[in-house]
Amino acid sequence: MAFTDDVWQAAAGLRAAVHAHPFNQELAAGSLSRSAFAHYMIQDGLYLQGYARVLALGAAKAPAADEILAFSKAAEVAIVVERALHAGYLDQFGIDPRAAETATPTPACEAYVNFMLAIAVTDSFAVLAAAVLPCFWLYQDVGTAIAAKGAPGNFYQAWIDTYADENFAAATERMKGIVNAAAADAGPSERERMTAAFLRCAQHEWLFWDSAYHERDWPIKP
Ligand SMILES: Cc1ncc(CO)c(N)n1
């Protein structure tokens, strides 16, 4: 069985929890509180900057030209395309995009980004590739599921369209192919670290939505 089939199976319960999460249920219905979504957008802008750095480190560690291209293109997309989506929404919320870029990360955002950065710096390309996959795959999965429900006039339609888009699905498939090729070349211990990284990042995805839904911030500040 392909590595990605194994880990997708291993994450079945977690995936069900992601789909059932009130953030995604209410986003699908268009009833999600705008303030929770604004919190999410600002944190996601910070997240995507960190994610782009991780992808760029992946490009540097990649075994060959195809993977260098896939990772550096994904780094560019993380910044350029998603910044446009964010700018549109931030505008609707009356939030200055520059203010959003200087916002501070919540514990959930910081933990997720730093977990991936630590892997990018200290572990192999294969483990890094497994760590960045849930970001693609869960969003593609959630985006297409929500798009299929199609609540008319949904305020969050632009967000839904981004992740239900066939180009995003194609990028997700490319990443899965890269991860499977890396897993095929990996020894047992590296493969174990790949699985652990994938599952932890999938947990971080759930946590990121949950943190936004409850508009969580640091419980104590200096
Ligand atoms: C937290 C998070 N995970 C995944 C994606 C998909 O790019 C995103 N925008 N934000």
Enzyme catalytic residues = 135, 205
Tens of pLDDT, residue by residue over 150-185, are 788 999 998 999 999 999 999 999 999 999 999 999
* Mean pLDDT of all residues in 93-116: 89
Residue range 99-111: average pLDDT? 90
Residue 118: the pLDDT is 98
**Domain chopping of the chain, boundaries:** 3-213
pLDDT higher than 90, residue 97: no
Predicted model pTM: 0.96
Q: Looking at residues 39-63, what average pLDDT do you find?
A: 95
Contact 44/85 with Cβ under 8 angstroms? Answer: no
Residues in the chain, overall count: 222
Is residue 44 in contact with ligand 1, taking CB distance under 6 Å?
yes
Distance CA 155, CA 33 (A): 11
Q: Which atom of ligand 1 is nearest to the CA of 204?
A: 1
Ligand 1 atom with the smallest distance to the CA of 109 is 1
The 10s digit of each residue's pLDDT in 119-128 is 999 999 999 9
Task: Provide the 8-state DSSP code for 218.
Answer: -
pLDDT band at 60 (very low <50, low <70, confident <90, very high): very high
- Give yes or no for residue 205 CB within 6 A of ligand 1: yes
Band the pLDDT of 80: cuts 50, 70, 90. confident
208 lines ligand 1 (CB under 6 A): yes
Residue among 123, 159, 103, 25 at smallest CA distance from 132:
123
Distance 155 CA to ligand 1 centre (A): 19
Residue 151 amino acid letter: A
Token readout for 195 is: 């699985």
Q: Which CATH number fits domain 3-213: 2.40.160.60, 1.20.910.10, 1.10.238.10, 3.40.50.720?
A: 1.20.910.10
**pLDDT over 90 at 217, yes or no:** yes
Distance (Å, whole) CA 193 – CA 81: 31
Nearest CA to ligand 1 atom 10: 44
Q: Return the ligand 1 atom nearest residue 136 CA.
A: 6
Plot region of 106 (φ>0 → left; ψ -120 to 50 → alpha; else → beta): beta
Q: Which residues contact 51 (CB under 8 A, 6 or more apart)?
A: 78, 113, 116, 132, 135
